[in-house]
């Protein structure tokens, strides 16, 4: 038995796993502004609760793996800095080991999600994969030779900050023209809002009024119903998706690219035009064309990946 | 002793090496339009000549390594396709082994140059490196964990076709907006020509008239003399260089980036503003900032790398 934890800006999920099956799990709100100490105390209480519910003893559990957003020092098990949480130099591993004397492994959340899909999801049929997660931003996790690719000091795979337009839209990172300023779900929602305002008769505008906001779900509702404004938006969005995915093909030549995030629920609606454009844009065409599929573990990918960190920690 | 061969569109160099020292070498014109058979016959004659000049016997030579442009099948030792040469399905390894019964290794030229710098040039002090070669296009070679990174089937590292501007300038590859359509020496020369025409009093224009053409060398002559038009051009060019290098930092997080190609002779003139901009554009700033240096082996990098393919062939 092993424990996988996924610490995000909004929620924390703690899961008990037997091999890669989730036996039981609990999700709590993060409330990062309470400060690291309080949040970690709640995480420890949740770990205890998950252990109790599973019927396991501490001696049945081999390790705890944690996926967490932010800049991490994996060897020391600390969060150097997390802009999502507003935390600095948090001794996460120590504070958990104080309560649970087990091996604790720490890894960034995007790598954990990729690892989850690789060991137990869509990626398990492929030798190499790049997971691309579309959400607030665009995150990435890269696996080659049965290893997480981490670069020189763990800061590789920042694929959302590949360039789409030099001197383009200002990105949250301060650079201008990053892929995620155009191709993230946040960017899609922003563009949809502008288009809805410009087209008061569009379904986009109606759904925005109905739901009080536009979001990934209702934008795709409009796309599926062939709303003209929404379809225009969609073809631009798929173009942006394909440009970034093509860059990934060019530099990594992976066997598979796995699309994650809520948007992956749209399946072939996205995959079909995406594959077509990537094939068109890619330098070596069919020779390098990877399999492009959607992720299959949903939001459990993070805890599954985290629970596997014992074997993928270097 | 070992033989390293660098087959380019213009010249072929064959070198005899003792460890990583080039004992002697010969360079011939490629004339690829003569067809693969004739060219390979000339290469075989040059190999024999280099062996004779070195005083070695065939039994002193452990292997022949070859770097070659184009799409290769490394395991079979064939050139699948080379647009530079206009060749298809050339059994290069077989045709050389027929004359020289030695192990023959084949690798693409950009990877060989990177490997040369890694084992014996600027890269030898670093655990990981990405070599970026600026020339007609922009080529790349990536080394991590003491291995050439080749992706799933040998088509990774096509860094010249990372995107700089979606829907931008048409690239020779057919995609619009690739880095090499803006940041290669070819692109620099093209932009310089337009600027010279627009500024008839500029030094760019004078040097263009003096030399009958603009090229990397006289453009940098104008830059060093603070010609206004040339300096304007240079700051745009360094911006393009830095945008692409930043993307490489984001996805690979290498310990070092080695700048190759004729342009690397310019040294700190390029490196200083390049480092400054990459630091500015990079997501994690100083945390991920690689060492950025120029290559040191010049056009011998290819044969040195090729001669080392026995240890880096998988």
Give A161-182 pLDDT, tens digit per residue.
999 999 999 998 899 999 999 9
Residue A18 has pLDDT above 80, yes or no: yes
Q: Residue A24, exposed/middle/buried by CB under 10 A (0-12, 13-18, 19+)?
A: middle
Interface of B with A in 237-256 (CB under 8 A): 239-240, 243-244, 246-248, 250-255
B264 and B168 both lie in a single domain? yes
- Report chain B residues whose CB lies below 8 A from the CB of A279: none
Q: Residue A166, exposed/middle/buried by CB under 10 A (0-12, 13-18, 19+)?
A: buried
Is position A28 within any domain?
Answer: yes
Nearest-angstrom CA–CA distance, B87 and B9? 11
Interface of A with B in 217-236 (CB under 8 A): none
Contact B134, B294 (CB under 8 A): no
- Report chain B residues whose CB lies below 8 A from the CB of A158: 250-251, 253, 283-284
Interface of A with B in 102-131 (CB under 8 A): 127-128
3 state DSSP class of A4: strand
Contact A117, A258 (CB under 8 A): yes
At A298, the pLDDT band (50, 70, 90 cuts) reads very high
Which residue in B has a C-alpha nearest to residue A291's C-alpha?
B152
Is position B312 within any domain?
Answer: no
- Report chain B residues whose CB lies below 8 A from the CB of A127: 152
Interface of A with B in 260-289 (CB under 8 A): 281, 283-284, 287-288
Is position A312 within any domain?
Answer: no
B143 and B187 both lie in a single domain? yes
Q: CATH no. for residue A50?
A: 3.30.420.40
CB distance B240–A283 less than 8 Å?
Answer: no
Is position B149 within any domain?
Answer: yes
Nearest-angstrom CA–CA distance, B16 and B58? 12
ipTM: 0.94
Pick from B150, B175, B252: CB nearest A151: B252
- Report chain B residues whose CB lies below 8 A from the CB of A149: 144
CB distance A253–B151 less than 8 Å?
Answer: yes
At A252, the pLDDT band (50, 70, 90 cuts) reads very high
| Mean pLDDT of all residues in B209-233 | 96
The side-by-side arrangement of strands in the sheet containing B138-144 is B147-148, B138-144, B129-134, B256-260, B291-294
B148: tokens are 């050439």
CA B68 to chain centre: 11
* Residue located via tokens 């563009």: A191
CB distance B128–A144 less than 8 Å?
Answer: no
Nearest-angstrom CA–CA distance, A130 and A117? 10
The side-by-side arrangement of strands in the sheet containing B87-90 is B71-73, B78-82, B87-90
A155: tokens are 């800061």
Partner B contacted by A72 (CB < 8 A): no
Nearest-angstrom CA–CA distance, B261 and B220? 14
Alpha helices in B70-166 (DSSP H): 92-97, 109-120
Q: What is the pLDDT of residues B87-140, one digit of tens each?
A: 899 999 999 999 999 999 999 999 999 999 999 999 999 999 999 999 889 999
Which residue in B has a C-alpha nearest to residue A288's C-alpha?
B155
Nearest-angstrom CA–CA distance, A43 and A60? 20
Q: What is the pLDDT of residues B247-260, one digit of tens each?
A: 999 999 999 999 99
Contact B255, A152 (CB under 8 A): yes
Residue A160 has pLDDT above 90, yes or no: yes
Choose from A250, A280, A288, A290 for mutation: most chain B CBs within 10 A.
A250
Pick from A152, A159, A240: CB nearest B128: A152
Nearest-angstrom CA–CA distance, B112 and B141? 8
Element (H, E) at B108: strand B104-108
At B66, the pLDDT band (50, 70, 90 cuts) reads very high
A237 and A137 both lie in a single domain? yes
The partner residues of A50 in beta bridges, in order of sequence, read none
B14 and B49 both lie in a single domain? yes
B147 and B257 both lie in a single domain? yes
Nearest-angstrom CA–CA distance, A70 and B257? 25
Model pTM? 0.94
Partner B contacted by A291 (CB < 8 A): no
B103 and B137 both lie in a single domain? no
B178 and B284 both lie in a single domain? yes
| Mean pLDDT of all residues in A27-54 | 96
A263: tokens are 């948007």
Alpha helices in A74-202 (DSSP H): 92-97, 109-120, 180-183, 185-198
Is position A81 within any domain?
Answer: yes
Contact A178, A164 (CB under 8 A): yes
Partner A contacted by B294 (CB < 8 A): no
CB distance B246–A175 less than 8 Å?
Answer: yes
Task: Name the minimum distance, in Å, from the CA of B170 to any CA of chain A.
Answer: 12
Which residue in B has a C-alpha nearest to residue A165's C-alpha?
B165
Which residue in B has a C-alpha nearest to residue A72's C-alpha?
B287
Residue B314 has pLDDT above 80, yes or no: no
Pick from B153, B239, B253: CB nearest A153: B253
At A279, the pLDDT band (50, 70, 90 cuts) reads very high
Pick from B153, B244, B287: CB nearest A71: B287
Task: Name the minimum distance, in Å, from the CA of A174 to any CA of chain B.
Answer: 8
Q: What does the CA dihedral A15, A16, A21, A27 come to, rounded to 10 degrees? A: -20
At B285, the pLDDT band (50, 70, 90 cuts) reads confident
Is position A120 within any domain?
Answer: no
- Report chain A residues whose CB lies below 8 A from the CB of B163: 162-164, 243-244, 246-247
At B10, the pLDDT band (50, 70, 90 cuts) reads confident
Residue A286 has pLDDT above 90, yes or no: no
B88 and B155 both lie in a single domain? no
Task: Name the minimum distance, in Å, from the CA of B161 to any CA of chain A.
Answer: 7
At A204, the pLDDT band (50, 70, 90 cuts) reads very high
Element (H, E) at A281: helix A268-281
B108 and B168 both lie in a single domain? no
Nearest-angstrom CA–CA distance, A220 and B61? 64
Residues in chain B: 314
Domain span including residue A42 = 2-115+300-307
Partner B contacted by A172 (CB < 8 A): no
At B84, the pLDDT band (50, 70, 90 cuts) reads confident
Question: Which stretch of A156-160, A238-242, A310-314, B139-143 has the lowest confidence by average pLDDT?
Answer: A310-314
CB distance B149–A144 less than 8 Å?
Answer: yes
Mean pLDDT of chain A: 95
The side-by-side arrangement of strands in the sheet containing A2-7 is A21-29, A11-18, A2-7, A64-68, A104-108
A226 and A134 both lie in a single domain? yes
Q: Which residues contact A174 (CB under 8 A, 6 or more apart)?
A: none
Could you give the number of structural domains in chain B? 2
Is position A121 within any domain?
Answer: no
Nearest-angstrom CA–CA distance, A15 and A298? 14
CB distance A253–B153 less than 8 Å?
Answer: yes
Which residue in A has a C-alpha nearest to residue B240's C-alpha?
A166
Is position B314 within any domain?
Answer: no
Q: Which residues contact B176 (CB under 8 A, 6 or more apart)?
A: B165, B166, B167, B168, B169, B170
Query: Backbone phi, then psi, for A44, in 5-degree steps?
Result: -60, -40
A67 and A139 both lie in a single domain? no
Task: Name the minimum distance, in Å, from the CA of A54 to any CA of chain B.
Answer: 39
Mean pLDDT of chain B: 95
B137 and B177 both lie in a single domain? yes
Core vs surface per residue A104-139: b (16+ CB within 10 A) or e: bbbbbbbbbbbbbbbbbbbbeebebbbbbbbbbbbb
Residue B263: name the closest of B163, B179, B172, B187 by CA: B187
At A82, the pLDDT band (50, 70, 90 cuts) reads confident
Alpha helices in chain B (DSSP H): 36-54, 92-97, 109-120, 180-183, 185-198, 203-211, 216-224, 228-252, 268-281, 301-307
Residue A45: name the closest of A110, A117, A95 by CA: A95
CB distance B255–A152 less than 8 Å?
Answer: yes
- Report chain A residues whose CB lies below 8 A from the CB of B243: 163, 166
- Give, as one character, the DSSP assignment of residue B253: -
CB distance B162–A162 less than 8 Å?
Answer: yes
- Report chain A residues whose CB lies below 8 A from the CB of B251: 140, 156-159, 162, 248, 251-252
Residue A314 has pLDDT above 90, yes or no: no
Task: Name the minimum distance, in Å, from the CA of B253 to any CA of chain A.
Answer: 5
* Residue located via tokens 């070695």: B56
Pairing of strands A256-260, A291-294: parallel
Radius of gyration of chain A (CA): 20
Tally of CB atoms within 10 A around A89: 10
């Amino acid at each position: 038995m092993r424990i996988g934890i996924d610490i995000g800006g909004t929620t924390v999920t703690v899961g008990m796993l037997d091999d890669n099956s989730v036996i039981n799990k609990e999700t709590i709100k993060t409330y990062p502004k309470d400060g690291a100490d309080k949040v970690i105390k709640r995480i420890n209480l949740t770990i205890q609760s998950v252990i109790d519910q599973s019927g396991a003893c501490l001696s049945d559990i081999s390790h705890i793996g944690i996926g967490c957003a932010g800049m991490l020092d994996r060897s020391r098990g600390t969060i150097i800095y997390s802009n999502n949480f507003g935390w600095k130099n948090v001794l996460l591993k120590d504070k958990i080991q104080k309560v649970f004397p087990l091996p604790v492994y720490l890894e960034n959340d995007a790598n954990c999600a990729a690892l989850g899909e690789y060991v137990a999801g869509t990626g398990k049929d492929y030798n190499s994969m790049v997971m691309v997660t579309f959400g607030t931003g665009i995150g990435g996790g890269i696996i080659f030779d049965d290893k997480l690719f981490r670069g020189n000091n763990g800061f590789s795979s920042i694929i959302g900050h590949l360039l789409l337009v030099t001197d383009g839209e200002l990105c949250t990172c301060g650079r201008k023209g990053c892929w995620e300023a155009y191709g993230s779900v946040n960017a899609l929602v922003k563009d949809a809002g502008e288009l809805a305002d410009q087209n008061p008769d569009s379904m986009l505008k109606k759904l925005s009024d109905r739901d009080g906001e536009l979001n990934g779900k209702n934008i795709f509702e409009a796309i599926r119903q062939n709303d003209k404004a929404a379809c225009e938006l969609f073809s631009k969005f798929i173009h942006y998706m394909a440009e970034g995915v093509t860059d990934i093909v060019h530099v990594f030549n992976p066997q598979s690219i796995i699309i994650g995030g809520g948007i992956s629920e749209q399946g072939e609606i996205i995959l079909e035009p995406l594959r077509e454009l990537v094939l068109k844009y890619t330098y070596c065409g069919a020779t390098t064309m990877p399999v492009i599929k959607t992720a299959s573990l949903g939001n459990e990918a993070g805890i599954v990946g985290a629970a596997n960190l014992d074997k993928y920690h270097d």
